[in-house]
């Protein structure tokens, strides 16, 4: 019995020493200078205006200079309502829905597109569209009707 107790004490001591050696190794790895620097590194940088060079707005963009096409404006801004009929908007391609509007003439349609009409706000949702772009969009909307 005395031998068994001594053996259990030695095994327990050996397990304790192994665990403490392992934890010391893990502690040393986590406290290595590279690990500390990585853990406390900032997640981002802050620059004050003018500290770094920035790309100028409208400089080297993939967008062609000049007015956007009616199709591009329709697909970007108008399709939400004129593609679904939301808020009573006539759906593109639906001749019956557009008949009463087209009867007023293209000039009136363009005027309504620019100034707003019923639930449609001025220029739809394209606040930076020019009058020419709005006219091109109206022509695209009624094309083929």
- What is the pLDDT confidence band of residue 28, given thresholds at 50, 70 and 90? low
Residue range 40-51, pLDDT digits in tens: 888 877 777 777
Q: How many domains does the chain have?
A: 2
Q: Mark whether 133 and 75 lie in a shared domain.
A: yes
Residues 26, 81, single domain; the answer is no
Q: How far is CA 118 from the centre of its chain?
A: 31
Cα separation, 22 vs 5, whole angstroms:
26
Q: What are the residues whose beta carbons fall under 8 Å from the beta carbon of 139, sequence distance 6 or more?
A: 70, 106
78 and 129 co-located in one domain: yes
pTM for the whole thing?
Answer: 0.56
Per the structure, the complete domain to which residue 78 belongs is given by: 70-142
């Amino acid at each position: 019995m005395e031998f068994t107790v001594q053996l259990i004490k030695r095994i327990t001591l050996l397990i304790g020493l192994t665990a403490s050696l392992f934890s010391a190794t893990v502690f040393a790895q986590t406290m290595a200078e590279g690990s500390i620097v990585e853990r406390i590194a900032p997640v981002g940088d802050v620059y004050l205006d003018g500290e770094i060079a920035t790309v100028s707005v409208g400089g080297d963009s993939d967008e062609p200079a000049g007015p956007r096409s009616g199709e591009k404006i329709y697909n970007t801004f108008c399709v939400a309502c004129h593609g679904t009929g939301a808020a009573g908007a006539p759906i593109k391609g639906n001749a019956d829905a557009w008949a009463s509007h087209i009867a007023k003439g293209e000039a009136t349609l363009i005027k309504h597109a620019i100034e707003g009409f019923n639930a449609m706000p001025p220029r739809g949702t394209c606040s930076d569209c020019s009058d020419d772009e709005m006219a091109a969009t109206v022509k695209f909307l009624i094309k083929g009707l």
